[in-house]
Structure formats: C-alpha cells, structure tokens
Structure 1
Amino acid sequence: MAALIWLLIPLMAAIGAGLWGSWANRTRKVRGDGPELDGYARFREAMERSRPST
C-alpha cells in the first residue's frame, strides 16, 4: 500500500503540472501592435529632435 502512495505522488504532480501549463498558456485577449508601434514612433521622433545638427 505504501508503494502505491509513492506512485500516486508523481502522478498528482504530473496532473498538477498539466493543469498549470494549460492555464499558463490559455488564450489571452490580443490587443495588437498598435500601442507598441505608437510608442516606438514617439521614441524615434524624440531621438530625432535630440540629435545634434552637424
């Protein structure tokens, strides 16, 4: 009986890991690249303004 319990421990750990993995990789709401691209455009504009003219 004790050997059966020792075999159930890794089984429960595997089931828990599978549940956690499916939860961690769940489909999230996709917001697209809009905000990131807007921020990058503002960054480029700021870098162009701060560049010393030669």
Structure 2
Amino acid sequence: MAALAWLLIPLFAVVGAAIWAGWASRNRTIGDVAELAGYARFRDAMERSHGGEDSGTERREPATASQASLAQRAQ
C-alpha cells in the first residue's frame, strides 16, 4: 500500500502540471482589445485637453503609425 501511495504522488504532480500548463497557455487576447480601446480614448482625451490652449486648433483624427512616420519624414 505504501508503494501505491508513492506512485500516486507523481501521478498527481503530472495532472496538476497539465492543468496549470493549460491554464497558463490560454488565449488572453480578448482583454487586450478592451485595453487598447481604453488607451485610444485616453490618448484622445489628452489631445483634447492640450488642444484647448490654442483656440485655432481643430480636432484631428489620431494618426496611424505609418501616417505618423510619413508626416515626420515630410517635415
């Protein structure tokens, strides 16, 4: 009976490791979408708050990375 107990310990360890590995490798991209949308809202709010200093500025759409790099090259 003691030998059976010693054989069950590695078995439980393997089952626990398999459960942990499945949990650790789950797909977590769903939360990123919400965080990226929140960052976009934050960026828009920061642009609006700093845009109020100059009354002649108009509201611009946020530039994509490629548009921003092209604008920097043009300057």
TM-score, normalization by structure 2: 0.42
Output the CA distance in 1 between the equivalents of 2:46 and 2:31. Answer: 26
Identity %: 15
How many pairs are equivalent?
Answer: 47
RCO greater where, 1 or 2, for CA within 8 Å and sep 6 or more? 2
Aligned-residue Cα RMSD (Å) equals 2.9
Unaligned runs of 5+ in 1: none
Q: 1:47 to 1:17 in 2, by over 3 A?
A: same
Unaligned runs of 5+ in 2: 54-75
Within a 5 Å distance, the mapping from 1:1-54 to structure 2 comes to 1-23=4-26, 26=27, 27-28=29-30, 31=33, 36-49=39-52
